[in-house]
Amino acid sequence: MESQAIANLSNLLNDDFSKSVKLLYNSKGRVIITGIGKSAIIANKIVATLNSTGTPAVFMHAADAIHGDLGLILEDDVVICISKSGNTPEIKVLVPLIKNGPNKMIAITGNKDSFLGKNADYVLNTFVEKEACPNNLAPTTSTTAQLVMGDALAVCLLELRGFSSKDFAKYHPGGALGKKLYLRVSDMSSVNLKPKVTKDTKIKDVIIEISEKMLGVTAVVENNKVVGIITDGDLRRMLSKTDDFSNFTAKDIMGANPKCINNDAMAVDAMELMEANDISQLLVEENGNYAGVVHLHDLIKEGIL
**Mean pLDDT, the chain, integer:** 93
- Domain extent at residue 126: 2-162
Binding residues for Zn(2+): 61
CATH of the domain at 280: 3.10.580.10
Confidence of residue 178 (pLDDT cuts 50, 70, 90): low
Q: Does any domain span residue 287?
A: yes
What's the pLDDT score for residue 219?
Answer: 97
Q: Does any domain span residue 180?
A: no
Q: What is the pLDDT of residues 24-39, one digit of tens each?
A: 999 999 999 999 999 9
Q: Which H or E element spans position 229?
A: strand 225-231
146 and 199, same domain (yes or no): no
Binding residues: 61
Strands 260-262 and 281-286: parallel
What's the pLDDT score for residue 302?
Answer: 84
pTM beyond 0.85, yes or no: no
Q: Does any domain span residue 170?
A: no
**66, pLDDT greater than 70:** yes
**182, pLDDT greater than 80:** no
Q: Which H or E element spans position 182?
A: helix 175-182
| Nearest Cα to Cα of residue 183 among 276, 21, 305, 90 | 305
Q: Tell me the average pLDDT across 124-148.
A: 95
